[in-house]
Amino acid sequence: MKPISAATLVILPLMFSACCSNARPRFWKVRDGSAGGLAYTVDTIGVPTGSLQPPDIRYVDGAGKYVDVRKPKVVREITEQEWKTATSGARYSLFYCGLRRACWAKTRER
Task: State the number of CA atoms in the 13 A half-sphere of 21 facing the CB.
Answer: 4
Reading the chain (110 residues) residue by residue, the pLDDT tens digits are 566 666 555 555 555 456 788 889 999 999 998 888 999 999 999 898 888 888 889 999 999 999 999 999 999 999 999 999 999 999 999 988 888 788 989 999 98
Q: Which of 30, 15, 8, 18 is nearest to 74 (CA)?
A: 30
- Going by the DSSP 8-state scheme, the letter that residue 30 receives in this structure is E
Q: Give Cβ neighbours of residue 43 (< 8 Å, ≥ 6 apart).
A: 25, 26, 28, 49, 52, 104, 105
Residue pair 44/30 in contact by the 8 Å Cβ criterion: no
| pTM of the model as a whole | 0.79
